[in-house]
Amino acid sequence: MTDEKLLLIPGPSPVHRRILDVLAAQTVAHTAPEMQVELRGACENLKKIVFSRDGEPFIVAGAGTLSMEMALLNTVAAGDRVLILSQGYFGARMVQICQAFGLAHEVMEAEWGIAILPEDLERRMDRNRFDVVVATHVDTATGACAPVEAYAGIVKARGALYIVDGVCATGGIPERMDDWNIDVVLSAAQKCFGVPPGLAICVFSRAAMAKRQAMTSIPAYYTDILRWLPIMKDPAKYFSTPCVNEVRAFYEGPRIIIEAGMQARLGSHERFAAAIRAGLSALGFGFFTKPEFQASTLSVVVYPPGVEDAAFRSKLSENGVVVAGGLAQTAGRVFRMGHMGNLTEEQGLFALGAVEKTLDSLGFRFSRGAGVRAAQALIRS
């Protein structure tokens, strides 16, 4: 771990050697047999990860923001009303996309550090009609994990389509698309999948596909899923040249998840989150997100008195670990640590050791070794 830095921001996450090897491979034609097999395989495994039997996956060059745009433009018809459930920075981005395309929308905003309560959503939907409801599963600014399963029953009982932004959740926190009646799960390659940035990921339900097919036109070209659908069905066909190496690398990401087993993969995220938080708590740190809303994919960590943000993160980077600063109202008050994707126990303990080394160099008083010991004890239990 001395020659390179461990990237523990809330995405991109650490990349497995298998994935790096594919990225370094010679580029093949976008219609080559290898590409056809691997794009199909990635789509099939993506359905398994979101627990969908007959969803339609889309893997397109772009990032999470493109996935947001794809989900909205392909499900919101003229005259539709959208309800956005926002618990931080990325709910606000959904608002901006609606504004950019003139989509009628309303917003329910939670205080940062918590999520919208299901009973509040129920009251809002009983007062007003909405055709599409959008929820961020995990907001990477606040670390808040929304109760997306509870939302689903409320939304579907009132006849609306339901979109879940799973950018910081898909593959690390359960998203049972069929069982929960989610109509679109949108995500990106670089978080729980552990693949470098570059791909927008969506899975559409039958109802969502039917909605798009009933719309005569949408304000999109590249993000129109009907243009991509033939390629997802038969990768030998052409619409727009995909980023070949990135798609082939993404094939490895879901394969690694499926090989481990979905329950094991989801459980590892919960275990590492608990261990890292135990270690940080033992060193005097706190957490911005209310405990009942903490996501297992990242932590928003509050500094103890006397530890300054810029100095801490700079010294931690020198010690081999990169974390992210706070956004908007949390800037300077917190750092954000990702613990998702292909993170290993060894890497998690290395990170806590680096935090201890950093605190020591900054003159902060703490019990040396307490963070690593606390994390080890929880992992072993």
Does pLDDT of 380 surpass 90?
A: no
Summarize the confidence of residues 71-88 as an average pLDDT: 97
Q: Contact, 234 vs 43, CB < 8 A?
A: no
Which residues have a Cβ under 8 Å from the Cβ of 46 and sit 6 or more positions away?
A: 57, 59, 201, 203, 254
DSSP 91: H
Q: Residue 269 has what pLDDT?
A: 97
Within 8 A by CB and 6+ apart from 25, the residues are 245, 248
Residue tagged 């659908």 (tokens): 229
Q: Can you read off the two tokens belonging to residue 76?
A: 């919101």
The three-class DSSP label of residue 345 is: helix
Q: Is the Cβ–Cβ distance between 187 and 206 less than 8 Å?
A: no
Q: Round the average pLDDT of the chain to a whole number and report it.
A: 96
pLDDT tens per residue across span 38-71: 999 999 999 999 999 999 999 999 999 999 999 9
363's CB contacts (< 8 A; 6+ apart) are none
Q: Is the pLDDT of residue 2 over 80?
A: no
One DSSP character per residue, 9-60 reads SSSS----HHHHHHHTSPP--TTSHHHHHHHHHHHHHHHHHTT-SS-EEEEE
Nearest CA among 372, 195, 344 for reference residue 280: 372
Return all residues near 58 (Cβ < 8 A) that are at least 6 apart: 70, 200, 201, 202, 203, 204, 225, 228, 229, 232
Return the SS3 of 74: coil
Token pair recorded at residue 27 = 């580029």
Its CATH architecture, for the domain 6-12+261-380, is Alpha-Beta Complex (3.90)
Tokens of 32: 């080559």
CATH 3.40.640.10 fits 17-260, yes or no: yes
Q: Give the start-to-end residue ranges of the domains of the chain.
A: 6-12+261-380, 17-260
Q: 223-266 pLDDT, tens per residue?
A: 999 999 999 999 999 999 999 999 999 999 999 999 999 999 99
The pLDDT value given to residue 381: 78
Cβ–Cβ < 8 Å for 367, 38? no
Residue pair 182/169 in contact by the 8 Å Cβ criterion:
no
Share above pLDDT 90 across residues of the chain, in percent, rounded to a whole number: 96
Cα gap 57→232, rounded to integer Å = 7
Among left, alpha and beta (phi > 0; psi -120 to 50; other), residue 309 is alpha
Is residue 359 within 8 A of residue 352, CB to CB? The reply is no
| pLDDT tens for each residue of 315-371 | 999 999 999 999 989 999 999 999 999 999 999 999 999 999 999 999 999 999 999
1 pLDDT band, cuts 50/70/90, is: very low
Decide if pLDDT at 3 tops 80: no
According to the model, what pLDDT value does residue 263 have? 96
Q: What is the pLDDT of residues 184-211, one digit of tens each?
A: 999 999 999 999 999 999 999 999 999 9
Q: What is the pLDDT of residues 90-141, one digit of tens each?
A: 889 999 999 999 999 999 999 999 999 999 999 999 999 999 999 999 999 9
pLDDT tens digits for range 159-175? 999 999 999 999 999 99
End-to-end CA distance of the chain: 26
Burial of 149 (0-12, 13-18, 19+ CB in 10 A): middle
pTM above 0.75, yes or no: yes
What pLDDT shows up at residue 4? 87
